[in-house]
Amino acid sequence: MKQGGTPPTGKWIGSPQGGVTAPEPLLLPDLATRFSATASRLRALANDHPMTEWLGFMSLLSDAQHSAATTLPPMPAIDASLVNRSVAARVPPLAADGHHRNSAWRDGLTKLYDELDGEDIPAPAAAVIADMRSRAIDDIEDLADRFLRGALSANHVGAALYVAAALQIYFTRLAASFDASDLRLLPQRGLCPCCGSTPVSGLITASGQTPGTRYLYCSLCSTAWNHVRAVCITCESAGKLTLKGIERGSAAVQAEACDNCHTYAKMLYQGKDTKVDPYADDLASLGLDIMVSEAGWARHAPNPLLLVG
């Protein structure tokens, strides 16, 4: 089903009297709300925030992503037989490191440039756009390949932001075209069942038919999938997890740290704040990343929009 939709009545776990329904295994992105919700949340979080200007710029980038995702012409459909074979083999049908990209992803990149050119953005950000417009197609495609392989270096930091944002548009549009019932969770539960990427954060629901369910949100294609709680999403061990937060910070944003593999992942609790967004709240809580990293834990996986930084 689509994210934000009303889950259908599922099968009962245990006795139907007083039982709970099984959570949806995965939720596909809704193009009408995915990027606009992040933009709106970023603007709200920017108020009185130490990184007000940066969060404001990121909200403009999310607005541009929304415009691209909802107005660009439809892309060619993915071969259904390829999807079926991939799912049967328990591999992601949009595997980011093996998917043959359609050139339409660059239409999203150009749309980002055009949308941001009309906004009051920082001079360095505008300079990078001007540089990107002048680059050859092969150079742009090479940057995309490097990004998807995790091989970008520090001198790519400016270009990486726009390439990552455009690839999010592309893969999110593809994921939104699927039928959730045709997909399956992977054996490696910490990876996206649609594109095989790592999650940017997890969200523990507070409403619906299965409150308390944890969904991990893909950093690339925006698919969300169910992952059992109290288990490390990196090493899958249990019993050595602790929640860490910033004193007097938001109780809705916590770092779930594992003492077995010494990694952590951001977890967002809707019960503490119903407006949390898996992407915006991750960007706005960099202070928590710094605190936990300095204490000795490594982040499970980077946010693509901060891959190099």
Residue 24 lies inside a defined structural domain of this protein: no
> Would you state the pLDDT for residue 16?
36
% of the chain residues with pLDDT over 90:
78
Which of 146, 176, 206 is at the close of a domain? Answer: 176
Provide the domain limits for residue 88: 34-176
Amino acid present at 92: P
Q: What is the mean pLDDT of the chain?
A: 91
Amino acid present at 164: A
Q: What mean pLDDT is predicted for residues 27-43? A: 98
Which of 156, 176, 196 is at the close of a domain? Answer: 176
> Would you state the pLDDT for residue 12?
29
Residue 22 lies inside a defined structural domain of this protein: no
The SS3 assignment for 214 reads: strand
The answer to whether residues 38 and 172 belong to one domain is: yes
**Helix (H), strand (E), coil (C) string for 223-257:** CEEECCCCECCCCCCECCEEEECCCCCCCCEEEEE
Residue 279 lies inside a defined structural domain of this protein: yes
Place of tokens 């009309």: 118
The answer to whether the beta carbons of residues 115 and 67 sit under 8 Å apart is yes
How far, in Å, are 198, 233, 244, 260 from residue 238 at the CA level? 19, 10, 17, 9
> Would you state the pLDDT for residue 99?
87
Neighbours of 108 (CB within 10 A): 24
The answer to whether the beta carbons of residues 27 and 2 sit under 8 Å apart is yes
Residues 6+ apart with CB under 8 A from 82: 93
The answer to whether residues 41 and 164 belong to one domain is: yes
Q: What mean pLDDT is predicted for residues 43-51? A: 95
Tell me the CA end-to-end span of the chain in Å, nearest whole number. 34
Domain count, the chain: 2
The answer to whether residues 166 and 211 belong to one domain is: no
Residue 190 lies inside a defined structural domain of this protein: yes
> Would you state the pLDDT for residue 88?
93
Residue 308 scores a pLDDT above 60: no
Q: DSSP label at 7?
A: P
Residues 107-121: pLDDT tens digits? 999 999 999 998 999
> Would you state the pLDDT for residue 186?
95
> Would you state the pLDDT for residue 191?
96
Beta bridge partners of 263: 298
Residues 122-180: pLDDT tens digits? 999 999 999 999 999 999 999 999 999 988 877 888 999 999 999 999 999 999 999 99
The answer to whether residues 188 and 171 belong to one domain is: no
> Would you state the pLDDT for residue 20?
57
The answer to whether residues 266 and 225 belong to one domain is: yes
The answer to whether residues 271 and 299 belong to one domain is: yes
Check residues 308 and 286 and name the one with the higher pLDDT.
286
Residues 213-262: pLDDT tens digits? 999 999 999 999 999 998 999 999 988 899 999 987 889 999 999 999 99
Amino acid present at 156: H
The answer to whether residues 152 and 246 belong to one domain is: no
Residues 1-19: pLDDT tens digits? 778 764 433 332 333 344 5
Which of 148, 176, 204 is at the close of a domain? Answer: 176
